[in-house]
């Protein structure tokens, strides 16, 4: 049963990811991203991380992708880019070779190590175990990282203001 769920969820993730890259229409690409995010949520459920799965669906699939869609539709980017111009003719085949090589090596590394990864400790069946474990992690080991994320958000705010505000002429 676990294995079937794993295969199905992984197929969703990969199909979605390929869709994001390959669909010529940006709206379709953004919708493919929803598929990927749902697949990841299914993986989370299969691992017993129900809270993370819910957050994944609500925040990512629900809010962020909808925002993507809004932006894409507001900007009116509904035509495909012409990707046939190629300054260096050799780079695409080369990229394919290097990409295949890197993924091959990574798969080999993970397959080689698959027996050495220890079993994780599953959380108890109790309903708030998940949230409690998460909170404990966030506010003890990773409290600085948690707070520092807010600094990262300041970059987003200041950057948006800097890149989009209207210039007043003749000041200074």
Partner 1 sequence: MLAQDDFFLAPGIEWFHLGPVIALVSGALVLLVVGALTPRWPRGLYAYVTALTAAVAGGLAVFNWNDITDDGVSTLVGGALAFDTFAQMITITVCAATLLVALVTDDELRRAGKDGPEVYALFLIAATGAVVMGSANDLILLFLGLETLSLALYVLAASDRERPTSQEAGIKYFVLGGFASAFFLYGIALIYGGTQSTNIGEIIGSFQTSVLLDGKDTLVLAGIALLIVGLGFKVAAVPFHMWTPDVYQGAPTNVTAFMASVGKAGAFAAMLRVLVIALPFHRDDWRPAIWVLAVLSLVIGSVLAVVQTDVKRMLAYSSISHAGFILVGVEAAGHNAGELAPGDGMPSVLTYLLLYSVLTVGSFAVVSLVARNNGGDTSLDAFKGLAQRRPTIALALTVFLLAQAGVPLTSGFIAKWGVIQAAVEEESYAIAIIAMVAAVVAAFLYLRIMVSTWLETGAESTEREAVPFSTGVAVFSAAAFTLLIGVWPGWLLDAAESVTTYAK
Kindly list the residues in this chain that would bind partner 1 in the complex (CB under 8 A): 105-106, 108-110, 112-113, 115-118, 132, 136, 139-145, 148-149, 151-152, 154-159, 161-163, 167, 169-172
Which H helix or E strand runs over 20? Answer: helix 2-22
Q: Is 62 or 133 the residue whose CB approaches partner 1 more closely? A: 133
DSSP assignment of 141-166 equals: TTHHHHHHHHHHHHHHHHHHHHHHSP
**Minimum gap (Å) between residue 129 Cβ and partner 1:** 11
DSSP at 23 = -
**Minimum gap (Å) between residue 153 Cβ and partner 1:** 10
- Sole residue written with tokens 């989009």: 164
Q: Is 25 or 149 the residue whose CB approaches partner 1 more closely? A: 149
Q: Is 5 or 106 the residue whose CB approaches partner 1 more closely? A: 106
Q: Is 4 or 87 the residue whose CB approaches partner 1 more closely? A: 87
DSSP assignment of 112-142 equals: HTTTTSPPPPPPPSSTTHHHHHHHHHHHTTT
**Minimum gap (Å) between residue 46 Cβ and partner 1:** 18
Cα gap 97→133, rounded to integer Å: 43
**Minimum gap (Å) between residue 2 Cβ and partner 1:** 19
Q: Is 28 or 142 the residue whose CB approaches partner 1 more closely? A: 142
Cα separations in angstroms, 150 against 22, 55, 96, 104 = 34, 19, 38, 37
- Overall residue count recorded for the chain in this entry: 172
**Minimum gap (Å) between residue 131 Cβ and partner 1:** 11
């Amino acid at each position: 049963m676990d294995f079937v769920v794993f295969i199905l969820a992984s197929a969703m993730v990969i199909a979605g990811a390929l869709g994001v890259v390959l669909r010529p229409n940006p709206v379709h690409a953004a919708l493919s991203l929803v598929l990927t995010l749902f697949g990841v949520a299914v993986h989370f459920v299969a691992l017993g991380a129900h809270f993370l799965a819910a957050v994944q669906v609500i925040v990512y699939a629900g809010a962020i992708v909808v925002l993507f869609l809004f932006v894409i539709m507001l900007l009116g980017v509904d035509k495909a880019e012409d990707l046939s111009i190629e300054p260096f003719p050799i780079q695409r085949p080369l990229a394919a070779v290097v990409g295949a090589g890197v993924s091959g090596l990574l798969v080999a590394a993970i397959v080689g190590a698959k027996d050495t990864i220890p079993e994780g400790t599953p959380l108890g069946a109790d309903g708030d175990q998940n949230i409690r474990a998460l909170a404990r992690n966030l506010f003890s080991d990773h409290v600085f990282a948690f707070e520092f994320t807010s600094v990262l958000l300041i970059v987003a705010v200041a950057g948006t203001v800097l890149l989009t505000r209207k210039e007043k002429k003749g000041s200074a």
